Structure 1
Amino acid sequence: MERFTAASPLTGTKYLDIYVDEKEPRNGIEALLKELRPLWKPTEIKLKTFTDGITNKLLGCHVDEAMEDVILVRIYGNMTELFVDRNNEVKSFQALRAQHCAPDLYCTFQNGMCYEFIRGTVLNMWLLREPSIFRLVAKELAQFHSVQTDNGYPSEPVLWNTISKYLDLLNTNQQKPTTHVSSLEMNDVPTFDILVSEVEKLKEHLSQCESPVVLCHNDLLCKNIIYIEAKGVVKFIDYEYTGYNYQAYDIGNHFNEFAGVSELDFSMYPPKELQLEWLKSYLEVFKECSGREPLVTDLEVLRLYVQVNKFALASHFSWGLWAVLQARYSTIDFDFLRYARERFKQYFKMKDDVMTLQLPS
């Protein structure tokens, strides 16, 4: 296998010209590790597959039983370049690492990246609700939102460009036959015309919410949060969708993720009391990070509460579109269309109540 080591001219990160076969990854991974861990014997390398990802394939590589040194190898999912700007992802990694918010990025390769394994507990739907845990998540997200970048990021919110891109892809491909999705399966998904109409209404409504634009994770589901009990902190991983966006979108998207992924249960969406406590913890740290007094008023918390629940609508809409597209292209064994139907169903269920919420002044 021919390969070379170089720094990407766009990101400055080490690049290895190696392809890793998603179905038979062993040879490609051994080639990567020959460069990253030259003292590791190929016959001693153990691979552990992490199965809870629905976009990419993730494997942990190690030689010692105690797993003291683990390299994560992420193999990009089929056609994910349609959804993810990989150069921006690497820039995010670098900017966040510089602020101690991300693990080490060892290299990128033809269809993936290698990075440091963070040892800890991956959160689940129940841990997300624990006050001692959700306060840590709120504080970490406030610090994340305070990161300043100077790497050429566009500071405009990515939300509307992302939704527009998804709609364009749907429109371009909706007449094409696909082996993944039948027309019958698409029956419960809103028609393209309805989707276009809804996004116009949503954009008009949310443009009046005055949510600040900050550096956002944009995909803060359970599995992307690691609790490091010994240090009393949480850390976020996976920056595929990281970029500047509305502050309230990132929080609303996280609240939606209380419902889980594989089996969505929106009765788990955090109740108002939990949200207010979460948002107060968040605002204390967010204000402190910007050099202000960490004194938070009830009015500030209520204002953010309304903004967050309105932008949670946009989260349902965006991930619903994303899931329809994934159903067309992904080779991962996951019922993306069922997921899309559930997200759109919840969007329409909560739409009227949320849109009538008034911003306190």
Structure 2
Amino acid sequence: MANYIHVPDEAPAVPKIDVTLDENDYRSGALRLIKELRPFWKPSEVKMKFFTDGITNKLLGCYVGGVMQDVVLVRIYGNKTELFVDRENEVKSFRTLHAHRCAPRLYCTFNNGLCYEFLQGQALEPEHIRSLPTSRLNSEVPSRRRLREEMVWMQQSLSVLGSPVVLCHNDLLCKNIIYNQLGENVKFIDYEYAGYNYQAYDIGNHFNEFAGLNEVDYSHYPERSLQLQWLRSYLEAYKEHKGQGSEVTETEVEVLYVQVNRFSLASHFFWGLWALIQAEFSTIDFDFLGYAVLRFSQYFKMKPEVGALNFPE
């Protein structure tokens, strides 16, 4: 979908290193990468630490010394993730966002992954944007026939909402947002799903992520008052960036509110399908099937409510 992403000329070139990492015996392969990226590091002094938050890939941090300062992050692609992730597009998105100072630097790619810069700062947690107790939904995965019917319904009902197509992250869960308090800036990481998409989808997907990941609770989906405040700030920045001033009308906010909440359904549907694929192929220890059930359950729960939303007259 996003093969035509324009990578700015000033974006650094990204070398390809002919190395394949075995996720169960990774050190030797990782050291070959480090030899290219940090030739002054002594192999015997290189420390490696796995980060456990990812549920698509495995992420390894390589560094020397007692403090994690200059860290090379090595991401090993999950098994069969090429079925739903366009890796060439991911690299384009990475380079484009780095050129606009919204992302870390991409050091290299290798046969089954990539290496990139470690960002100093705090990966956000759901409690940073809300603070309520958590729970879990239970249901069954819908039939293929039902899923096909819902896909047709979404295509017909969402494509007519007039949401502009923009470059989207498409996976703005909390831990993909890095806040550097010292530098007073926010940057984003992980661009596997980045590409051109409906503006309202990206926002609706982000609002869905208020529920968390490991213990999902959709009562944390932002209430209307918070959404309106958030959407107004977004529109002000969006219009100013496009040279249209920063004045935003109540009607504009209400229109975006309807678009976002309807598109939040598409987010649930996408990640439900994604989880079913992961349940079949992923080697990561995560209850993907249970997660699929959660997303489809919330889709059908919210469909009547958000489907009844109408644009202001």
Q: Gaps (5+ residues) in structure 1? A: 1-10, 131-186
Match of residue 256, structure 2, among 304, 311, 314: 304
State whether residues 320 and 341 of structure 1, in contact with CA within 8 Å, keep that contact through their aligned partners in structure 2: yes
Name the CA distance, whole Å, in 2 between partners of 1:337 and 1:46.
34
State whether residues 235 and 248 of structure 2, in contact with CA within 8 Å, keep that contact through their aligned partners in structure 1: yes
Match of residue 274, structure 2, among 322, 325, 329: 322
Counterpart residue number, 2:47? 46
State whether residues 276 and 305 of structure 1, in contact with CA within 8 Å, keep that contact through their aligned partners in structure 2: yes
Name the CA distance, whole Å, in 2 between partners of 1:95 and 1:225.
17
1:290 aligns with 2:291: no
Counterpart residue number, 1:73? 74
What's the CA shift for 1:202? 1.1
Counting only pairs closer than 5 Å after superposition, residues 226-265 of structure 1 correspond to structure 2 as: 226-265=178-217
Name the CA distance, whole Å, in 1 between partners of 2:213 and 2:25.
27
Counting only pairs closer than 5 Å after superposition, residues 103-142 of structure 1 correspond to structure 2 as: 103-129=104-130
- Which secondary structure does the structure 1 equivalent of 2:269 belong to? helix
Q: State the Cα RMSD in Å.
A: 1.3
- Which secondary structure does the structure 2 equivalent of 1:24 belong to? coil
Name the CA distance, whole Å, in 2 between partners of 1:282 and 1:255.
13
Name the CA distance, whole Å, in 2 between partners of 1:202 and 1:81.
25
What's the CA shift for 1:118? 0.4
Counterpart residue number, 1:91? 92
1:58 aligns with 2:10: no
What's the CA shift for 1:103? 1.0
Q: Gaps (5+ residues) in structure 2? A: 1-11, 132-138
Counterpart residue number, 1:23? 24
Post-superposition Cα deviations, 1:98-156, rounded to whole Å, max 9, x if no partner, equal: 111111110000100000000101101111249xxxxxxxxxxxxxxxxxxxxxxxxxx
Post-superposition Cα deviations, 1:152-210, rounded to whole Å, max 9, x if no partner, equal: xxxxxxxxxxxxxxxxxxxxxxxxxxxxxxxxxxx911010110011101111111210
Amino acid of the structure 1 residue aligned with 2:31? E
Name the CA distance, whole Å, in 1 between partners of 2:144 and 2:52.
32
State whether residues 130 and 220 of structure 2, in contact with CA within 8 Å, keep that contact through their aligned partners in structure 1: no
Counterpart residue number, 1:137? none
TM-score of the two chains, using structure 2 as the length reference: 0.92
Amino acid of the structure 2 residue aligned with 1:19? T
State whether residues 209 and 359 of structure 1, in contact with CA within 8 Å, keep that contact through their aligned partners in structure 2: no
State whether residues 224 and 236 of structure 1, in contact with CA within 8 Å, keep that contact through their aligned partners in structure 2: yes
Amino acid of the structure 2 residue aligned with 1:113? L
Identity %: 62
Paired residues in the alignment total 295
Amino acid of the structure 2 residue aligned with 1:302? E
TM-score of the two chains, using structure 1 as the length reference: 0.80
Post-superposition Cα deviations, 1:211-232, rounded to whole Å, max 9, x if no partner, equal: 0000000000011011110122
The runs of at least 4 aligned residues of structure 1 exceeding 2 Å deviation read: none
Name the CA distance, whole Å, in 1 between partners of 2:262 and 2:75.
33
Post-superposition Cα deviations, 1:269-313, rounded to whole Å, max 9, x if no partner, equal: 111111111111111110110001111111111111110000000
State whether residues 13 and 108 of structure 1, in contact with CA within 8 Å, keep that contact through their aligned partners in structure 2: yes
